Structure 1
Amino acid sequence: MSEQTAAPMAEPAPLTATPAPAAVPPMPSVPPAAPSPRPPRRVLRAVARWTAAVLVCGVVGAGTAYGITSMERTDVPGLATESDGRWDYPALSLPALPAGSPRPFSEGNTAEVHYADLRDLLLPAPAGATEDKKLKGGWVSTAQFVSEYQEHERAELTQLLADSAPRHVAARGWTVADGTESRIYLLQFNSAAYAQAFFDDTYISSSPGPGIRWPDDLQLDQSWEDGGWVPETRTYAYGESRSGRGRVHQAYIRAGDTVALLVQKQPGKKDAPLIPFRQTLVLQNQLLG
């Protein structure tokens, strides 16, 4: 058997490594915003100017607001409070009482006596008024009180006062710059019963009673409606008409043992304001309450 030569085996071709696929970057959760184009320079300059203007207006406005809020109302043009005609009276307070003495309408004071000095119960004159030289807030005679009435009324009034025997009469008068004259008389009796009797004999609610020495055509002021009185007191106001208008005003206050007369005249005025008269009447009533 012939010897055959084996053919050499071919070397296998070397294996080529397959490259690994490239890693894929993760997707962003929010896509990046595209950069905005830069605004032109002229737009930037306009914005700067408007910003400066707004700041200036804000500063000026704040300063103005502070200036107004720090001023009194009467100092602000267009906001000044116009006077309603009231007079400038001083601050009022009730006078001190003697130790252990009650107020006129307190429980137990059945005679409704005013234990305070009657002169201290007179309303003071308003600021700027000229005091009446005869009526300075002190004691006056019954003759002085009667002199406020017309001559043909005085004899009967004098007799009534003699019968009633008032303990004291105090009075104050003044004139303000516009010529308005005011008189207040306080007549104090021994008790409320004596004061009531004198009032009933002299005055009735629908008529001012004896005519005062100024015009006597006065009528009950129905617009007043007894407004502003202190409890336990009564006020009766009269004017030259039923509305209380006119230049002459008269009123009576009955308060316990005391009767008050208020007369006010505003010369040269056909239809004078009511506010000063009513203000004076209310304040005097409060002092007697």
Structure 2
Amino acid sequence: MERTDVPGLTTRSDGRWDYPALSLPALPAGSPRPSNDGNRGEIHHADPRELLLPLPAGATQDKELDGGWVTPERFAEVYEKDKRREVRLALADYAVRHVAARGWTMPDGTSSRVYLLRFNSVGIAERFKDHVLVVGADSGVPLAGSPTLELDPDWASSGLVENTMAYLFAEEKPYDGEQTRLGYVQAGDTVALLTHSRKGGAPGVPFHQSVILQNQLLG
């Protein structure tokens, strides 16, 4: 699949959300894309806020996570209380450059959050993912509320940009009230965290769609 192919934006028959047509932001003159052979650090030169997923049709914007910057302390609140200090210190140690975030709620009650963490190079971003978040075969640092997450059995990883990675997890039944889905994307110098949660179950199709589209924006 080409990175400009936007999956399923013309139909909602399978549960996909109606995102606006996506386009990559313009870069400063002379700045390469992260996948360019001359960009050894795989640096994103675009403003991270312009690389966040836009709101799908019908979404209600979160007043706090409005597509702008958030502090590392705010990002750390995603995780269990006893892990937040560790995450905050690691963000300082790994010299995170920016944290951008957007949140929204859909008419069916699905609550969505997207955070983009930009580091100084692909190597630093990868070490943060591997050694701080400890993402891989399991979901790593527990989220606030400590939902038990397992690898998403329905995730096929199709549609990802070459040389990027995505890790998807889902809370299995029985879950207490609402179900949480969690995804991490690493593309160059940036690590993205995405969550969907909804009482009674968070549908998998729009979550997979959101991960793919965020991956394509970063790739």
TM-score by length of 2: 0.89
Structure 2 residue 67 is the aligned partner of structure 1 residue 106 = no
Pick one of 274, 283, 289 that aligns with 2:204: 274
Higher relative contact order (Cα pairs below 8 Å, separated by 6+ residues): 2
Q: Which residue of 1 aligns with 2:90?
A: 160
Pick one of 159, 162, 167 that aligns with 1:228: 159
Q: Is the 8 A contact 2:60 2:104 kept in 1?
A: yes
> Alignment partner of 1:253: what SS?
strand
Give the 4+ runs in structure 1 shifted more than 3 A: none
Q: Which residue of 2 aligns with 1:176?
A: 106
Q: Is the 8 A contact 2:164 2:186 kept in 1?
A: yes
Q: Which residue of 2 aligns with 1:59?
A: none
Calculate the aligned-residue CA RMSD, in Å. 1.6
> Radius of gyration: which is bigger?
1
| More helix by percentage | 1
Gaps of 5+ in 1: 1-80
Superposition pairs of residues 67-216 of structure 1, within 5 angstroms: 83-201=13-131, 202-216=133-147
CA distance in 2, matches of 1:213, 1:164: 22
CA distance in 2, matches of 1:100, 1:132: 35
Give the partner amino acid of 1:206.
Answer: A
Pick one of 169, 194, 197 that aligns with 1:238: 169
Q: Which residue of 1 aligns with 2:184?
A: 252
Q: Is the 8 A contact 1:221 1:241 kept in 2?
A: no
CA distance in 1, matches of 2:187, 2:19: 22
Q: Which residue of 1 aligns with 2:8?
A: none
Pick one of 150, 171, 187 that aligns with 1:219: 150
Residue 226 of structure 1 and its aligned partner are, at CA, apart by 2.7
Q: Is the 8 A contact 2:181 2:202 kept in 1?
A: no
Give the partner amino acid of 1:99.
Answer: A
Residue 95 of structure 1 and its aligned partner are, at CA, apart by 0.4
TM-score by length of 1: 0.68
Residue 228 of structure 1 and its aligned partner are, at CA, apart by 2.5
Residue 241 of structure 1 and its aligned partner are, at CA, apart by 3.4
Gaps of 5+ in 2: 1-10
> Alignment partner of 2:27: what SS?
coil
CA distance in 1, matches of 2:27, 2:14: 35
